[in-house]
Structure 1
Amino acid sequence: MKESSGIFGLISCVYLLLCFLVVHSERHKGTWSSGNFLKFVSKFGVQKTDLKNEDATQGFFYGNITTNSNSSNSLTLVVVDSEYFSHIFGNVILKLNKQHKTNICKSMFKKIDEVAFDKDCKPKGTEDYLRRVPCPKNKLCLDEDTPSNVVPNYQFTYKIMDKQIPRFWYMSIVACYRNTTNKNCSWVSSDDDITIDYDIWLVNGDPIYKKWNPVEHQFSFEEHDIFETFLGFLGVYIIIVPFWFYVYSKQRHSLTKFLLLITCTEAFGIFCNFIHVAVFASNGVGVYWIAVLGNAIDTVAQCLFMLSLLLLAKGWMITQPTIRGKKVVFSLWGIYTLLNCVLFLWNLFEVDVISNKDEWQTWPGYLICGFRIVIMIWFIVELRHTFLSSRCPETRLQFLQQFGAYFLVWFIYLPVLVILNTQFSALWKKKIMLCITNGADLLSYLILLHLLWPSRSILYLLKGEDPIPYDLLITGVLDEDQDDKTIFKRKKKTKLNGQLRREPNHNTIKNGFHKSPNYTDEKRLALLPEEEEEEEL
């Protein structure tokens, strides 16, 4: 009973943690008090505008901001690009605790005032960056002087046109306003404690054209094609997972069982992320806790896959049934798993959304890449030791060669990619990293599927849970002149009545042994594990 209560408590804690995480969405809805001075709403990538189809390709920021307080127009909604936002945000961070808020407001808007339009104070301004909020209930905001430009049923609308390249735009609400008394037009801080309710959408394209591009309309530009990416990977995993079940059904073996588990785990993580982006494409919010769960499952799959590589480098179930140097193997794997958990949590709570750095440009990301190189060196040394110290059939050595050649590349690709990632634009790096990392993992599972296909793995896998089924005889692995009752046998060093006692080979059906004239000792030795081969010699 106590154990059940403990498990229930753990599940409750995890659920509450996921519920209280900041929801990443492009529809922002909530309340805010001006006593906090600055509310950063979102960073959103606006696609390049097609001049032949402006409305369908412009960025649209629209919504409602109202209050029940007895004050109006004492706050300012600001939408600017990165050049101006760095000036605003930098002044808040550096001066908030050192200067009076009115002086901070003047510093924040000094540069914006040079270009921002205001019908009372800056009628010659060229940029539509500012709105006085909160807006009157059931009416347009005061700065919306062209009602036809406002999305129906909302109080304000920004139309953002980027003619050259896609760009990030930043939306904030600041407790500052223009003092228009006697046409002074100076920026001052709001002394009133105003609580506002806001409901804001950030999308690419006019909302009336949403059906034209439903899988990208809600997404920031750096997340365009994410829906198609997850859909593509999920489709491939749906195809290859049954093949892994087939491999396991024909070769019930500890190694195939472990790799089947890893592949299914990876596929489920992809499925969770796809569910999130599919719902996000519909409502602009998604199911964030499912995305967190999907990323956590993906991290688990990555760590388990690393463990499988470390075990195979030791020759586990290829040259020997036990694990050599368990302490070293599991110590390396434990450190790697711990670093991945730290990076996962860091990405949830510490990565700055405002900056253009991703989780790989943090110290946990650099540590993982550095330690991955250390594991790669250990992997090469252990694989070479396994190769040189094993007196195995040529087929097993060929497996180790092919295995080592590919997965050496798999180890090194991520550190190289992280270095190159620093040169990618922030608008592209997320898509590039997602496609390459998931593609490399998928290719790894396909290569192992090829190497462990039953018609090949019969030659180098050690004893499994069940013997190889009879239908593998048609693959040509066994002697051509053997009939359906003929199987391979192996000798055991003990004798019975002066003759060697024979036992069925682990990879064949349980029938009697009839040695064909063409069945040589050399062929028989090729099927023996390492320790029995030494006894024969």
Structure 2
Amino acid sequence: MFHLHLRILTSALVRFLLIVYFSSLGEGARVRGFWDPTSYQPVAVFAFHSNAQSAGYVYGNITTRENSSPVSATSKATLVLLDDDTWSDQFHSIEEDDYNGTPCSVMQTVFKNCQDSQCRVDGAMAQSIPCTIGQPSEETTCHNSLPAAQFALPVYNINVPRLWHLSLVPCYCNQSQTSNCTWVNSTNENGELNYDIWLVNGNPNSTKTDFLYYQLSYESQYVSIILITYIILYLFFLLVLSCGHRGHSHTIIRVFIASILLEWLGISLHFLHLAIYTFDGAGILPVKHFGVVVDVVSQCMFMALLLLLGRGWTVTKVHLEHKAFLVVIVMYSLVDVGLTVTRLITTDPVTTINDNLSWETLVVLGLRLFILLWFLYELHLSYLQEAQLTRQQFYVVMGSVYSLWFLYLPVAAVVVSQVVPPLWQYRTYTGITVTADFLSYAVLSYLLWPSRGVVSYRYSRIPMDDDLSLLDYDSI
């Protein structure tokens, strides 16, 4: 049974990867695309963190598109890199405004003096673009140009992790009238521009880089270690579970193992994206998103399993009453999956570090609390109907442990978003969720272990009108 489920899921995964491979989108370390310079455009958000011997770098190429309108010799736009404090103070509101020259006035405030094509002030850097095809940017005297890169912006003094915003601005510095820089609107002078930009933690010329964080923004570093740890633990867990339940093909066990397999698949897809991202700076974002959806389906299956046990199925009752509750579970699952897909589609991976408390997430957390109350109500009714002490204790343990499981996600989402620093939220939230889910599966596997005899795996061979109390649980 275990091997059959594994083959089916593996086959589905291979087909899915073939479909999404050619349509994959980058997430941050390497950003590629084109820009019609009529408005301010955010390009990437990246958290740099290195040490005294190294530096973060933003480098790449920005050129005019072959089929775009000609670009005059004097026309320019600007690539600007700002730390989070400067960006929040000056540029935060530009995204919501219609373009009316605001970016140029902000550039005038941030970069008051500009003597060459690269402007530098504390927490801000600007690079003139576009670059001539096949040639480095003019007057790049602040550093040695990197091979095959037209420009490079080194980010020094970043012992403390800092979040930086990379943007394209339709303005250029005009020094013809005054010795200081006057930022001029260039929206009517530029054609479409191609950009291919890398953001890395470390020096691209150095051979001594830690591949675990070189391509990754600080908040994503070492998350892959957490995921691979639980991928291995789940494989071992599934092996033990399949051996322990050999010969038992009850629906309860099939749903339980299927839920664990989906959880393992979701974590594996997340890890696959990060593993590829570690090497190419892009990854396969649809694979990560599909893993998130698979994880949601796994959570919904596990909730359905808990509700079935809470209603006493195979513990106190031989058959289910009021099976309409299964319709409610299916509707909840569809809503949960739908809201998750909506959040993934509407969240921009280029400019968003963490989105735990989007409105879609809040709705899902509210529904989860509703399922918790329903679960406790069903447990209470089953406990009152049960006369055997062992099975009463089973309900008590179920209520105690899985009340915490239902609550951990809302509590973790709120606490992490409000208490944990932004650059630690992703790895903290990931560590909490995968650990809590693994422990919840481990506890239920103990409660359902055949030698405990609390749940009957043999009742399906007995007429439905037989008394469940006649079953010899101790002999299982």
TM-score by length of 1: 0.76
Partner of 2:84 in structure 1?
Answer: 82
Is the 8 Å Cα contact of residues 346 and 359 (structure 1) preserved in structure 2? no
Q: Secondary structure at the match of 1:70?
A: coil
Give how far 1:17 is off: 8.9
Q: Distance in 1 between matches of 2:118 and 2:217?
A: 31
Q: Distance in 2 between matches of 1:431 and 1:121?
A: 38
The reply to whether residue 109 of structure 1 matches residue 110 of structure 2 is no
Query: Cα deviation per residue 1:198-219 (whole Å; 9 max; x = unaligned)?
Result: 2111111112446541121111
Partner of 1:257 in structure 2?
Answer: 254
Give how far 1:302 is off: 1.0
The reply to whether residue 366 of structure 1 matches residue 362 of structure 2 is yes
Q: Distance in 1 between matches of 2:428 and 2:212?
A: 18
Q: Structure 1: 5+ residue runs without aligned partners? A: 1-11, 468-491, 494-505, 507-523, 530-537
Q: Which moved more, 1:352-361 or 1:182-191?
A: 352-361
Partner of 1:527 in structure 2?
Answer: 472
Give how far 1:42 is off: 0.3
The reply to whether residue 38 of structure 1 matches residue 34 of structure 2 is no
The reply to whether residue 161 of structure 1 matches residue 156 of structure 2 is yes
Q: Distance in 2 between matches of 1:323 and 1:210?
A: 64
Partner of 1:413 in structure 2?
Answer: 408
Partner of 2:339 in structure 1?
Answer: 343
Give how far 1:260 is off: 0.9
Is the 8 Å Cα contact of residues 252 and 464 (structure 1) preserved in structure 2? no
Residue 71 and residue 398 in structure 1: after superposition, are their counterparts in 2 closer, same or farther (change >3 A)? Answer: same
- Give the partner amino acid of 1:216: Y
Q: Secondary structure at the match of 1:397?
A: helix
Query: Cα deviation per residue 1:369-411 (whole Å; 9 max; x = unaligned)?
Result: 22222221221121011011123x3332222222222111111
Partner of 2:394 in structure 1?
Answer: 399
Give how far 1:18 is off: 9.1
Q: Which moved more, 1:72-81 or 1:228-237?
A: 72-81
Residue 124 and residue 195 in structure 1: after superposition, are their counterparts in 2 closer, same or farther (change >3 A)? Answer: closer
Give how far 1:447 is off: 1.0
Is the 8 Å Cα contact of residues 319 and 462 (structure 1) preserved in structure 2? no
Is the 8 Å Cα contact of residues 339 and 367 (structure 1) preserved in structure 2? no
Residue 30 and residue 360 in structure 1: after superposition, are their counterparts in 2 closer, same or farther (change >3 A)? Answer: closer
Is the 8 Å Cα contact of residues 78 and 173 (structure 1) preserved in structure 2? yes
Q: Secondary structure at the match of 1:422?
A: helix
Is the 8 Å Cα contact of residues 336 and 368 (structure 1) preserved in structure 2? no
Is the 8 Å Cα contact of residues 448 and 454 (structure 2) preserved in structure 1? no
- Give the partner amino acid of 2:80: V
Partner of 1:179 in structure 2?
Answer: 174
2:32 maps to which of 29, 34, 45: 29
Query: Cα deviation per residue 1:93-136 (whole Å; 9 max; x = unaligned)?
Result: 3352xx3x3xx24322133124xx62259989556611111112
Q: Distance in 2 between matches of 1:206 and 1:348?
A: 32
The reply to whether residue 326 of structure 1 matches residue 323 of structure 2 is yes
Q: Secondary structure at the match of 2:91?
A: helix
Is the 8 Å Cα contact of residues 82 and 166 (structure 2) preserved in structure 1? yes
Q: Structure 2: 5+ residue runs without aligned partners? A: 1-14
Residue 450 and residue 410 in structure 1: after superposition, are their counterparts in 2 closer, same or farther (change >3 A)? Answer: same
Q: Secondary structure at the match of 2:213?
A: coil
Give how far 1:225 is off: 1.1
Q: How many corresponding residue pairs?
A: 448
- Give the partner amino acid of 1:32: W
Partner of 1:144 in structure 2?
Answer: 140
Is the 8 Å Cα contact of residues 91 and 108 (structure 1) preserved in structure 2? no
* Structure whose CA Rg is larger: 1
Is the 8 Å Cα contact of residues 214 and 282 (structure 1) preserved in structure 2? yes
Give how far 1:19 is off: 6.6
Q: Secondary structure at the match of 1:183?
A: coil
Is the 8 Å Cα contact of residues 65 and 197 (structure 1) preserved in structure 2? yes
Is the 8 Å Cα contact of residues 394 and 454 (structure 2) preserved in structure 1? no
Which structure would you say has the larger RCO, counting Cα contacts within 8 Å and 6 or more residues apart?
A: 2
Partner of 1:433 in structure 2?
Answer: 429
- Give the partner amino acid of 1:255: I
Residue 183 and residue 453 in structure 1: after superposition, are their counterparts in 2 closer, same or farther (change >3 A)? Answer: same
Give how far 1:272 is off: 1.4
Give how far 1:432 is off: 1.0
Partner of 1:240 in structure 2?
Answer: 237
Q: Distance in 2 between matches of 1:234 and 1:428?
A: 22
2:210 maps to which of 206, 213, 230: 213
Query: Cα deviation per residue 1:275-297 (whole Å; 9 max; x = unaligned)?
Result: 11111111111122221221111
Q: Secondary structure at the match of 2:264?
A: helix
Q: Secondary structure at the match of 2:422?
A: coil
- Give the partner amino acid of 1:439: T
Is the 8 Å Cα contact of residues 26 and 219 (structure 1) preserved in structure 2? yes
Give how far 1:175 is off: 1.3
Give how far 1:146 is off: 3.4
Q: Distance in 2 between matches of 1:106 and 1:296?
A: 42
Query: Cα deviation per residue 1:304-324 (whole Å; 9 max; x = unaligned)?
Result: 111111111101111123222
Partner of 2:11 in structure 1?
Answer: none
Q: Secondary structure at the match of 1:177?
A: strand
Residue 326 and residue 358 in structure 1: after superposition, are their counterparts in 2 closer, same or farther (change >3 A)? Answer: farther
Residue 462 and residue 163 in structure 1: after superposition, are their counterparts in 2 closer, same or farther (change >3 A)? Answer: closer
- Give the partner amino acid of 1:312: L
Query: Cα deviation per residue 1:404-455 (whole Å; 9 max; x = unaligned)?
Result: 2211111111121122123222211111111111111111111112122221
Q: Distance in 2 between matches of 1:125 and 1:432?
A: 33
Q: Distance in 2 between matches of 1:211 and 1:228?
A: 20
Is the 8 Å Cα contact of residues 88 and 109 (structure 1) preserved in structure 2? no
Give how far 1:355 is off: 6.8
Give how far 1:14 is off: 12
Partner of 2:6 in structure 1?
Answer: none
Q: Secondary structure at the match of 2:43?
A: strand
Is the 8 Å Cα contact of residues 216 and 224 (structure 1) preserved in structure 2? yes
Residue 357 and residue 340 in structure 1: after superposition, are their counterparts in 2 closer, same or farther (change >3 A)? Answer: farther
Residue 145 and residue 121 in structure 1: after superposition, are their counterparts in 2 closer, same or farther (change >3 A)? Answer: closer
Residue 322 and residue 235 in structure 1: after superposition, are their counterparts in 2 closer, same or farther (change >3 A)? Answer: same
Q: Distance in 1 between matches of 2:427 and 2:17?
A: 29
